[in-house]
Amino acid sequence: MHRFGPDDRPTWPAWDSRHNRQWHGTMTSVVAAGNGARSHGLYRGIASDAEMVLVQVENDGQGITDEAIVRALRWTAAHAAELGILVVSLSIGAESNFMPPGNPIDRVVRKLVAAGVTVVAAAGNEAIRRLAPPASAPEALTVGGLDDHSIFSHEEIALWHSNYGVTEDSAPKPELVAPSIWVAAPVLPGSWIEAEAEQLFARRHRGPDALAAEARIAELKLITPYYQHVDGTSFAAPVAASVVACMLEANPNLSPSLVRQILMATAQPVPGASRERQGAGALAAGQAVAAALSHRHPELAIHPALPHVGAVTITFALHEHQASHVALFGSWDAWSEPHAMQQDAPGVWRAGLTRLAPGRYEYKYLIDGTRWLDDPANPRKAWDGMEGFNSLLIVD
């Protein structure tokens, strides 16, 4: 483990090789929490004051293997408490797209979330209905991509070509989408791109080759000699993770389950896009942080995952401020009997069921007798046969 201060230079092997594979992880980190030093702070990350722990996921000479991902996640789980790690952003994918449920990568993600760490994973960039770990982990917050056309109109946003699907554990992915194009990131210092960029910007407004320089600047997606536009869900994930960091700064009592609820509740649906591909919709950073600040409910942080299957009782909890009455319905009694939920605190609704026999059950909340709601705290869903999902409860 290497520790670096703000003015220290990293010294791990090959850190300065100027190779793109070495720079990908650094760029994603800077998108989340960089200070924008080479832009006078203009292109700083959303969580620019966050403390970072950088974990290099690579086997020597073999690239990013499944074993390397597992080893890195296990190291993170082992040191999370010591280093104060509360958010993990993963812009990587397993070699195999068809790993069995309960695979080692998903298991370590589950362990991290159970320990109170929010895990954010990139969905992938192939625009196909297929997921690779860690995007397939039910407990991970899987982030797809959107194209906001670099403007500030919600009506103009569209989905980017990211992956989607349903995990083997019946969790539809992604949970939400975030910017995955037109994202500003630093050019690799000392690389050929930086050297060429400095020359191009020196020539862009003068000389006979000014037009050629301008065309090359566009080809390289350069913004300044030191920044360029990048794309991919590799950058959507750290954008979402940086918002999670701000939410936790606003409200340190948030559990991973409540972080998920707030992000999905505040997300804005992408016009004309299916729920299957966008999840709850586009990340709404300001609304999510405001909701985290205004809803400080330690009652919801008792259990890192909901519903909580205890030895005697199964506990359901819902964070819903707009309701005056909430009822729980489920397949355990053929959806016949409403179970009234009690309001423990403003916006906090809770119900308990005697532990059910092992099996898979579907359930839903009925808000004020008129609005059905699948559990936003539970990533596992089942198609309800109409226009939405039921939440899925698995009792081992």
pLDDT in tens, 268-316: 999 999 999 999 999 999 889 988 987 777 777 777 778 999 999 999 9
DSSP three-state, residue 164: strand
* Judgement on whether residues 175 and 153 belong to the same structural domain of the protein: yes
Q: Per the domain annotation, does 37 fall within a domain?
A: yes
| Whether residues 105 and 242 fall in one domain | yes
Pair 388, 263 in one domain: no
221 and 234 assigned to the same domain: no
pLDDT band at 97 (very low <50, low <70, confident <90, very high): low
At which of 269, 297, 325 does a domain end?
297
Q: Is the pLDDT of residue 1 over 60?
A: no
| Residue 36, Ramachandran bin (φ over 0: left; ψ between -120 and 50: alpha; else beta) | left
Overall domain count for the chain: 3
User: DSSP string of 115-161?
Assistant: TT-EEEEE--SS-SB---TTTT-TTSEEEEEEE-TTSS-GGG-EE-S
Q: Taking the model in full, what pTM does it have? A: 0.81
Of 225, 244, 279, the residue at which a domain comes to its end is 225
CATH code for the domain of 360: 2.60.40.10
**Is 324 found in the same domain as 265?**
no
Within a domain: residue 314?
yes
Q: Yes or no: say if 102 and 124 are a contact pair by the CB < 8 Å rule.
A: no
Domain range for residue 51? Answer: 20-183+230-297
Q: Is residue 21 pLDDT above 70, yes or no?
A: no
* CATH assignment at residue 248: 3.40.50.200
Euclidean distance between CA atoms 130 and 147, whole angstroms: 21
Structure tokens given for 200: 């191009």
Residues 148 and 248 reside in one and the same domain:
yes
Residue 13 lies in a domain: no
Residue 87 pLDDT > 80, yes or no?
A: yes
pLDDT in tens, 191-234: 889 999 999 999 888 777 889 999 999 999 999 999 999 999 99
Asked if residue 262 and residue 119 are part of one domain, the reply reads: yes
Of the candidates 63, 54, 11, 1, the one whose C-alpha atom is nearest the C-alpha of residue 29 is: 54
Sheet holding 348-354, edge to edge: 308-309, 313-319, 348-354, 342-345
Contact 165, 130 (CB under 8 A): yes
Bond prior to 174 in cis (omega within 30° of 0)? yes
**Is 151 a residue whose pLDDT tops 80?**
no
Q: 377 versus 162: which is more confidently predicted?
A: 162
Task: Looking at the structure, tell me whether residues 130 and 218 fall in a common domain.
Answer: no
Looking up tokens 């895990």 gives 119
Check residue 304 and give its pLDDT: 74
Let me know if residue 15 belongs to a domain: no
Report yes or no on 173 lying in a domain: yes
| 361 and 259 in a common domain | no
Pair (77, 208) in one structural domain: no
